[in-house]
Amino acid sequence: MHVRKIVFGLLSILLGVPHLTAQTSLIGTWKEGDRFSYVLEDKYSNFYDSAKLNQKLTLDTNWHVKSVGVDGSALVEVKIEQVRFNADQKGVPAGWEQFSFDSQNPIEPRNKGEMSTFGALNAFVGSQMSITINEKRELSKFLLSEPLAEHLERNQITLELAGFYGHTFTTNGMQRRMTSWLIASPPKPVSKGETWCHDQISRYEDLFLGVDTYTLEGPALWSGQTLSKISVKSEFKVPDNDTGKQEPKISEQSGEGVVYIDERTGRIVDATLRYHVAQQSAFGKSSVETTITAKLDPNPKK
């Protein structure tokens, strides 16, 4: 009898009789006192008629888990250690074509515009912010330190730069840059091929709503490590305004990405998210391309 049961079990496996599927837990496990570092990069291209503005902001950041609540939510302090910025443009009346900035390798500004931009970027270095985030990586609070809030929200030069560069020099832009790659995980373990969704303010722009669909692709080899691979599909929509009309109108869009998570720690090791949105408004046609990357840094800056 026992032999028959064993033989039947083997045949069930070989013939594909349904069996339990391995599941993966993707929740983040926060531990008080943990320290880790990420290199965050935001590449942004804005096209309007024949004009084009490209910019890339790279932040080297240190993260410190200050405390963990009974519900698993963590208070995390984030500090910016290094800032790099590159910009080039064509057809924009800015008085320059391209420039670069590195807080650890300073150069003399060539004009007043670069002097203002370099000064605003230097103010990011050493700045801190606090994030309250749960095990599913859902954000409940984001607070800038008072000096950084003062710099972004009330400094006249920074406000003028925000008018030209956009979210590079805004509070909302800083929050998206620091947290939008922290994809939401399901509360329960999932199987390969399983999907889940999350609604949020778009990573692309404040006035858009975003719907992300995640799919667990299974284990994958990344830089010599076996990690959980998650694919991301994003869709944007414009909410109705007070008149019931959508303004601006999205004429073309795409959003996709890949995220690798270490199942042992629940920590994101690498994330790349890409977006393209073309829109039509009362001011004409424009489009934006954005690439956001986050990489866990094995050699953090002190």
Mean pLDDT for the stretch of residues 82-99:
82
d(CA 90, CA 53): 7
Q: Is the pTM of this model over 0.75?
A: yes
d(CA 81, CA 60): 5
Q: List, in sequence order, every residue forming a beta bridge with 262; answer none if it has no partner.
A: 267
pLDDT in tens, 144-190: 999 999 999 999 989 888 888 888 898 888 988 899 899 888 888 99
Q: What's the pLDDT at 295? A: 96
pLDDT grade for 244, boundaries at 50, 70 and 90: low
Mean pLDDT for the stretch of residues 248-267:
89
Which of these ranges, 53-62, 82-91, 236-245, 283-292, has the smallest mean pLDDT? 236-245
d(CA 48, CA 33): 47
**Within 13 Å and on the Cβ side, how many CA atoms surround 117?**
30
Q: What's the pLDDT at 93? A: 65
Q: What's the pLDDT at 167? A: 84
Q: What's the pLDDT at 268? A: 95
Task: Please tell me which residue, 208 or 71, carries the higher pLDDT value.
Answer: 71
Annotate 202-236 with DSSP letters as a single string. Answer: -SS-TT-EEEEEEEEEEEEEETTEEEEEEEEEEEE
Q: What's the pLDDT at 206? A: 58
Domain residue limits, the chain: 24-296
Q: What's the pLDDT at 5? A: 45
User: Which residue shows structure tokens 């778009």?
Assistant: 202
Task: Please tell me which residue, 103 or 28, carries the higher pLDDT value.
Answer: 103
Task: Please tell me which residue, 178 or 280, carries the higher pLDDT value.
Answer: 178
> Is CATH 2.30.230.10 correct for 24-296?
yes
Mean pLDDT for the stretch of residues 268-274:
96
pLDDT in tens, 9-50: 444 444 444 444 578 888 888 999 999 999 999 998 888 777
d(CA 80, CA 78): 7
Average model confidence (pLDDT) for the chain? Answer: 84
Q: What's the pLDDT at 95? A: 66
